[in-house]
Amino acid sequence: MTKKINSKLTKLVKYYSLINNNLIYDSNAINRYKKDSFKLTGNKTEKLQKLKNSIKNIKNCNLKKSATNLVFSDGNPSSKIMLIGEGPGANEDKEGLPFVGRAGQLLDKMLLSIKLDRKSVYITNVVNYRPPNNRKPEPVEITKYSNFLRKHISIIDPKILILMGSTAMESLFGSNIKITKERGSWKDIIINNKTYLCMITFHPAYLLRQPENKKYSWIDLKEIRKKIDQLNISL
């Protein structure tokens, strides 16, 4: 009995160490990472290509094994507004671009409602390969891609981060908060010693399933537009 308990405790400690590797917590702005674990040199275009190549060369990734294409990003790399979604779906996996299905069509309308479009923002996902059957990425998968994501954020260096959905929220803020309580509020997060301003909002795919919540996303969108104007962000 004691051996079984010790074995379970050992497995639990290993799992906890895995999902919390390089993570620390801050009572003010959240600093989720102890250090930058890999460096990329060159200009922004070169860094993005190197990052893309790094993701292509990822090892021991079940998502990569089952996917057709790497889905890296879309939009304007020079934009100061960065959107982060969950992960590719079937259409995205086929075309190699984020948000090209029904959720993408809704996202385009949402952006247009506050005078934005894909040319004025930059879009990526928490994971860059499609999870089987469009399931939610698992905690270990989110952790595996977290280093790529924070490097992606550092390269783009946005003034505003828009986290769409609970997976994007959890990837940067952890799983102890609920999107229904946190959406619509501005938060700070520290990545590689720089503070970024974040807005959490619902994912377009969720809004397709729960259209009655579009009214809350509209509130969030207006707050985003207001902040763009306050920060005098050129589009």
Q: What would the pLDDT profile of 130-148 be if each residue is shown by its tens digit?
A: 999 999 999 999 999 999 9
- CATH no., domain 23-230: 3.40.470.10
Q: Three-class SS of residue 74?
A: strand
Instruction: Kindly list the distances between the CA atom of residue 30 and the CA atoms of 25, 139, 186, 194, in Å, as whole numbers in the listed order.
Output: 6, 19, 12, 11
Whole-model pTM?
0.84
Q: What would the pLDDT profile of 150-180 be if each residue is shown by its tens digit?
A: 999 999 999 999 999 999 999 999 988 999 9
Domain boundaries, the chain: 23-230
Residue 60 burial (CB < 10 Å; 0-12/13-18/19+)?
exposed
Residue 22 CB: number of other CB atoms within 10 A?
A: 14
Q: Which residue type occupies 209?
A: R
